[in-house]
Structure 1
Amino acid sequence: MQKTTARLVLRPPVLDDLDSLFAIYGDPATNRFNPSGPLSSIEQAQWLLNGWIAHWKAHGYGQWVICTRESPDDIIGFGGIDARKYLDVERLNLGYRFGTQAWGKGFATELSQAALDYAFTELHVPEVFAVVRPHHQASIRVLEKVGMLRIDTLDDVPGQAASLVYRLRREDAAPGRY
């Protein structure tokens, strides 16, 4: 299911997106706050892409491929909502990763708002979560800008500071928004 925003085209992933996925997820700069680090092989990227495609087939939603409306064939990132385990609890999770050329342009905020809108108006879910590393100030600002509130921490990376857990409930969203 393709979706558009003011500046973005969001579409489900396909197998041909593998090289772009590896370029973004294999870049050390885009993984600065990722404790697992960048993907180190195209096989890892293929495994990730296969999982996203399977999620779409099983649920009808998932991680989108993100392009601009100006250049709909040039992938600038990946993001959206999907079912994700927070240790032993499955939650609807908002996440994204953009190539460095897309940083600082408000695309993460625009994508996040579109994903929340989709979750609340199309999927009719009561809440959406996000997990962010505690020093990732840019992503924290994005989550707060779209109305998400920090509600907890998650000790998901042994030996490191706990991740921050954010949530937006439909009832807490801006009045009339959803």
Structure 2
Amino acid sequence: MHLQTERLILRPVAVTDLDALYRIYGDPATNTFNPAGPHPDIEHSHRILTGWLEHRDAHGFGNWAFSLRDAPEQIIGFGGLRIVEYPFGAVNNLGYRFAPEAWGKGLATEFALAAVEYAFTILKLEEVVGIVRKNHLASQKVLLKCGMRLVREINDVPGAEPSLQYRRRRG
């Protein structure tokens, strides 16, 4: 499903997004808070994109490619809602990543608000979770602005500091 916000166009990811995915996810700057680091090559990005497409086919929802309404041909990020398995169970996970040129403009908050609204009103999900690194203060603020609350620390990455789990329930 396509969505629009005040400044963003969100459209379902497609196989044609591979180069943009690698450009954004392969950039070390966009992986500052990602213990796995940047995508090492385009083949890795292809495997990730294939997984996203398979998730959407299986569940009816998933990731979007983001562009600005005034520049719809230029992808500036990716994100969405996916069912993710963690040691404590499966969750409806909200995730996103923007290209550095899109940072500091409130676009992550704009996206997150739209995605959470979509999760509750269209998908009728009972809850949405955001998992964030403890030192990623900007993303913690985004999750708080879209109504999530800190639930707990989780050990989701072996050998790394714990992450923080935020959650918002429908209603």
Q: TM-score range by the shorter chain?
A: over 0.9
Structure with a larger share of its residues in strand: 2
Percent identity, please.
51
Whole-angstrom distance in 2 between the partners of 1:53 and 1:141 = 29
1:108-147 per-position Cα deviation (integer Å, ceiling 9, x unaligned): 0011001100100001111100100000011011111111
Q: How does 1:8-23 map to 2 (within 5 A)?
A: 8-23=8-23
How does the TM-score come out when normalised to structure 1? 0.94
1:90-121 per-position Cα deviation (integer Å, ceiling 9, x unaligned): 11000000000000011100110011001000
Q: How does 1:1-178 map to 2 (within 5 A)?
A: 1-87=1-87, 89-171=89-171
Q: How many pairs does the alignment contain? A: 171
Compute the displacement of 1:51 (Å): 0.7
Aligned AA for 2:86? Y
Q: Which runs of 4+ in 1 moved over 2 A?
A: none
Compute the displacement of 1:89 (Å): 1.0
The answer for unaligned runs of 5 or more in structure 2 is none
- SS of 1:124's partner is coil
The answer for unaligned runs of 5 or more in structure 1 is 172-178
1:3-34 per-position Cα deviation (integer Å, ceiling 9, x unaligned): 11111100111111000000000000000000
Whole-angstrom distance in 1 between the partners of 2:75 and 2:99 = 8
Whole-angstrom distance in 1 between the partners of 2:156 and 2:65 = 26
RMSD: 0.9
Whole-angstrom distance in 1 between the partners of 2:86 and 2:110 = 25
Compute the displacement of 1:88 (Å): 5.1
1:47-91 per-position Cα deviation (integer Å, ceiling 9, x unaligned): 000111111111111010001100111000001111111125111
Whole-angstrom distance in 1 between the partners of 2:56 and 2:160 = 32
- SS of 1:44's partner is helix
Whole-angstrom distance in 2 between the partners of 1:138 and 1:155 = 20
- Between stretches 139-148 and 155-164, larger displacement belongs to 155-164
1:140-163 per-position Cα deviation (integer Å, ceiling 9, x unaligned): 111111111000111012222210
